């Protein structure tokens, strides 16, 4: 191995691995440095172990960033089809399910395996358990220092240290600290795609119950995000895919803003309009159904507890009023949000190094030549559905091709 490399890639996750491959394919001497005992640990848990590695619709408008033009430029260079062709070229077949792209094997391990095989084919040296604590930057080179005293010299550095979600798998926010001495600003990272903390007796009573619902995130009463999918009631609050999908705006408001009124609204019967639902309840009441049975066949039996709360103090004999109140309560059940679960349960990080501080074409730092940043370390976030992994592959490839 040479003592001085053309590029040192810091971070052996999705973006770092692809950055190293892209640089090596251009004939650069590359070394890949990873603080964990193996590469790509987060890749193995994505998509529930299936690895939703991209999406057919990588519309930049679906991403949150202070540099939307940069997101568009990166995907113009390495979008959905180039990502799939990249993986096909290294031996991975992919399939599409409703626009979401998965490995044909349905195993995230297959994705990591072909990446590791390509690293080996290109003879890219990989150094594990290399915990970078400092990057010195003399005029013509970089010196990368590990906590245990080891060091690497390189002409360029690609910093792909990830965000802060799932710190046990390697993303602990250390990349932010490495970028700061070069003058980079940090958009406060907050957990995203994360369960919500709600203090409501109903969550405790229904814990473990899962239903399909439409969820709206409300900030000062205005809808900021909405999604339909699973809602899971827990002892601490709310989880499930639909809750994760609307959590970003609430998490940002909780952690970056103050004095906001935050809530989620659940439409627990998204398959019926309010008028039809009220008419059905009125019919049941006229037919002599008891209050405890009114939701039978519409929601799981446990939800009679919610019906009892909604109808508390009302005259059930007033069929029209009771039916309207019940329908309204089920179509717009609101829960005040007190907080989010922590980084160990967040799928993504919202925030990071301000993406306006890197070159739109090369992802090179605007403050230090030959320092590139890629992946989740940048303030670029998508929702669930393969968007964030697609950004990792694409930005890593663009950075790797640019050194």
Q: Output the CA–CA distances (angstroms, integers) from residue 308 to 21, 184, 190, 316, 329, in the order listed.
A: 60, 55, 37, 11, 11
- What mean pLDDT do residues 123-149 have? 95
Return d(Cα 305, Cα 209) in angstroms, integer. Answer: 13
Q: Say if residue 211 is in the same domain as residue 144.
A: no
pLDDT, position 373: 98
Q: Say if residue 322 is in the same domain as residue 369.
A: no
Question: Which of 299, 317, 341 represents a domain boundary (last residue)?
Answer: 341
Instruction: Tell me the Cα Rg of the chain.
Output: 25
Q: Is 139 helix (H, G, I), strand (E, B) or coil?
A: coil
Contact 123, 111 (CB under 8 A): no
Q: Say if residue 365 is in the same domain as residue 240.
A: no
The confidence band for 138, taking pLDDT boundaries of 50, 70 and 90, is: confident
Return d(Cα 176, Cα 185) in angstroms, integer. Answer: 9
Q: Tell which wins on pLDDT, 258 or 100.
A: 100
Quick one: tokens of 104? Answer: 């044909």
Give the lowest-confidence range in 90-94, 257-261, 392-396.
257-261
pLDDT, position 316: 73
Q: Say if residue 166 is in the same domain as residue 229.
A: no
186 half-sphere exposure, CB direction, 13 A CA radius = 18
Contact 239, 216 (CB under 8 A): no
Question: Which of 290, 319, 341 represents a domain boundary (last residue)?
Answer: 341
Q: Say if residue 250 is in the same domain as residue 370.
A: no
pLDDT, position 274: 96
Q: Say if residue 305 is in the same domain as residue 373.
A: no
User: Which CATH number belongs to the domain containing residue 156 in this structure?
Assistant: 3.50.50.60
Full DSSP string of 206-222: TTT-EEEEEEEEEETTE
Q: Say if residue 265 is in the same domain as residue 363.
A: no
pLDDT, the chain, mean: 95
pLDDT, position 381: 96
The confidence band for 3, taking pLDDT boundaries of 50, 70 and 90, is: confident
pLDDT in tens, 280-334: 999 999 999 998 899 999 999 999 989 988 988 777 778 999 999 999 999 999 9
pLDDT, position 48: 87
pLDDT of residue 23 exceeding 50, the answer is yes
pTM above 0.85, yes or no: yes
- Cα-flanking dihedrals φ and ψ of residue 174, to 5°? -65, -25
Q: Say if residue 291 is in the same domain as residue 355.
A: no
Residue 244 lies in domain = 195-341
User: How do 151-159 and 371-373 pair as beta strands?
Assistant: parallel
Q: How many domains does the chain have?
A: 2
Q: Say if residue 205 is in the same domain as residue 174.
A: no
- What mean pLDDT do residues 122-136 have? 97
Q: Say if residue 231 is in the same domain as residue 371.
A: no
Q: Say if residue 174 is in the same domain as residue 256.
A: no
pLDDT, position 1: 41
Q: Say if residue 21 is in the same domain as residue 168.
A: yes
pLDDT of residue 77 exceeding 60, the answer is yes
């Amino acid at each position: 191995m040479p003592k001085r490399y053309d590029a040192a890639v810091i971070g052996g996750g999705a973006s770092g691995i692809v950055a190293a491959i892209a640089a090596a394919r251009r004939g650069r001497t590359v070394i890949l440095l990873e603080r964990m005992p193996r590469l790509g640990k987060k890749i193995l848990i994505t998509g529930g172990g299936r690895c939703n590695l991209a999406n057919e619709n990588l519309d930049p408008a679906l991403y949150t960033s202070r540099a939307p033009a940069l997101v568009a430029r990166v995907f113009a260079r390495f979008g959905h089809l180039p990502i799939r062709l990249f993986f096909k070229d290294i031996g991975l077949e992919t399939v599409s399910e409703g626009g979401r792209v998965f490995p044909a094997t349905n195993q995230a391990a297959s994705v990591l395996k072909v990446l590791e095989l390509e690293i080996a084919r290109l003879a890219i040296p990989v150094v594990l358990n290399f915990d970078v604590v400092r990057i010195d930057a003399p005029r013509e080179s970089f010196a990368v220092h590990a906590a245990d005293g080891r060091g690497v010299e390189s002409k360029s550095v690609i910093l792909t240290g990830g965000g802060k979600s799932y710190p046990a798998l390697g993303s602990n926010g250390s990349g932010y600290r490495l970028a700061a001495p070069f003058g980079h600003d940090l958009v406060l990272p907050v957990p995203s795609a994360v369960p919500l903390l709600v203090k409501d007796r109903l969550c405790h009573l229904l814990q473990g119950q899962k239903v399909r619902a439409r969820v709206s995130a409300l900030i000062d009463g205005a809808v900021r995000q909405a999604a339909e999918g699973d809602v899971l009631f827990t002892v601490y609050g709310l989880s499930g895919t639909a809750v994760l999908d609307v959590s970003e705006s609430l998490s940002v408001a909780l952690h970056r803003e103050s004095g906001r009124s935050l809530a989620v609204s659940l439409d627990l019967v998204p398959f019926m309009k309010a008028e039809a639902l009220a008419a059905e309840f009125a019919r049941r009441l006229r037919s002599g159904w008891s209050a405890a049975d009114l939701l039978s066949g519409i929601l799981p039996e446990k939800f009679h507890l919610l019906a009892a709360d909604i109808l508390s103090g009302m005259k059930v004999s007033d069929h029209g009023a009771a039916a309207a109140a019940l329908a309204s309560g089920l179509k717009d059940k609101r829960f005040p949000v007190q907080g989010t679960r922590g980084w160990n349960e967040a799928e993504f990080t919202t925030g990071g190094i301000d993406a306006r501080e890197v070159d739109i074409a090369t992802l090179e730092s605007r403050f230090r030549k030959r320092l590139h940043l890629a992946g989740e370390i940048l303030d670029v976030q998508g929702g669930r559905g393969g968007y964030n992994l697609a950004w990792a592959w694409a930005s890593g490839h663009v950075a790797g091709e640019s050194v």
